[in-house]
Amino acid sequence: MKNGWIKIARSNEVSLLKPYVTNKIKALPAMCLWREPDNTIAAIERFCPLGKEDLAEGKITNNGVVCPKHKITWSSLGNANKSTALTNTISYWWPTKEISGDVFVKWK
Ligand code: FES
């Protein structure tokens, strides 16, 4: 898969009410997207880097998505907001942009 912007969703599918998740497609991993309070879109890996819980069942807050299993909040830059046994654990994340009602992630 070439580097570049890849369409991942429609703008109206991504909200600040609940996570929008995708499945793995070829080399593109499964992702969890949500809308931030400033209306930008965050995209991190779908399965929690700590316990591999599915963030589809997570809750969106002003600080990111809360994992349903151990309640750690993951920010749009993949950082955990709580100290854990794995303090250096971060989630992969991707830049996003919207054009004409479509959401793109930058594959790198
Ligand atoms: S599995 Fe996500 S915080 Fe533990």
| Strand, helix or coil for residue 84 | coil
Amino acid at 42: A
Q: What is the spatial distance between Cα 86 and Cα 30, in angstroms, rounded to a whole number?
A: 22
Q: Which domain holds residue 93?
A: 4-107
Instruction: With beta carbons less than 8 A apart as the criterion, state whether 2 and 99 touch.
Output: no
* Ligand 1 site, residue 70, Cβ cutoff 6 A: yes
Question: Which of 32, 45, 53 is the best mutation target for the ligand 1 pocket, counting ligand atoms within 8 Å of the beta carbon and taking the most?
Answer: 53
pLDDT digits (tens, 9 = 90+) for 5-41: 999 999 999 999 999 999 998 888 999 999 999 999 9
Domain count, the chain: 1
Mutate-to-test residue for ligand 1 from 32, 45, 46, 48, highest number of ligand atoms within 8 A of CB: 48
CATH number for the domain spanning 76: value is 2.102.10.10
Q: Which comes out higher in pLDDT, residue 70 or 58?
A: 58
pLDDT over threshold 60, residue 87? no
Res 29: pLDDT: 94
48 CB less than 6 Å from ligand 1? Answer: yes
Q: Is the CB of 4 under 6 A from ligand 1?
A: no
**What's the pLDDT band for 81 if we cut at 50, 70, 90?**
confident
Residue 2 C-alpha to ligand 1 middle, in angstroms? 31
The mean pLDDT of 90-107, rounded to a whole number, is: 95
State yes or no: pLDDT of 93 exceeds 70. Answer: yes
Q: Is 51 in the pocket of ligand 1 (CB under 6 A)?
A: yes
Model confidence, pTM? 0.92
Instruction: Determine if ligand 1 sits within 6 Å of the CB of residue 32.
Output: no
pLDDT, position 1? 62
- From 68-77, 80-89, 99-108, the region with the lowest mean pLDDT: 80-89
Alpha-carbon Rg for the chain, nearest whole angstrom, is: 13
